[in-house]
Amino acid sequence: MGCESTVKFLNVEHSDALDEKIREKIAQLEHLFPHLQSCAVTVELPHKHQHQGALYEVRIVVAVPGTELVVSHQPNEDAYVALRDGFDSARRKLQDFETARRQKHAG
């Protein structure tokens, strides 16, 4: 089974290890939220380089019945930290969505 998932790297060299970590994180979301329909993750290194180093940006779009939830998280110099923070935010958004959905159906 599983939701439809896509992983994109923009201005970042593809990393099998990072790709694998992203797919693990998607699987964790699927386990917690069985209604998840799709998950698209983009890891980007924007061209605007500052002197402190390159900052990775992670964007996650998850589709659940009736809506899409979008997470764009604060950039980080460590792609894995940006990824962790992005998925933490996605999990919180999904939890909030599920809570609101249950309250709506209970009321």
Per-residue pLDDT tens for 8-61? Answer: 999 999 999 999 999 999 999 999 999 899 999 999 998 765 556 789 999 999
**Residue 57's pLDDT is what?**
94
40: helix, coil or strand? strand
Q: Distance between CA atoms of 98 and 90, rounded to whole angstroms?
A: 12
**Residue 23's pLDDT is what?**
96
Domain boundaries, the chain: 4-106
Instruction: Specify the fold of 4-106.
Output: Double Stranded RNA Binding Domain (3.30.160)
pTM of the model: 0.89
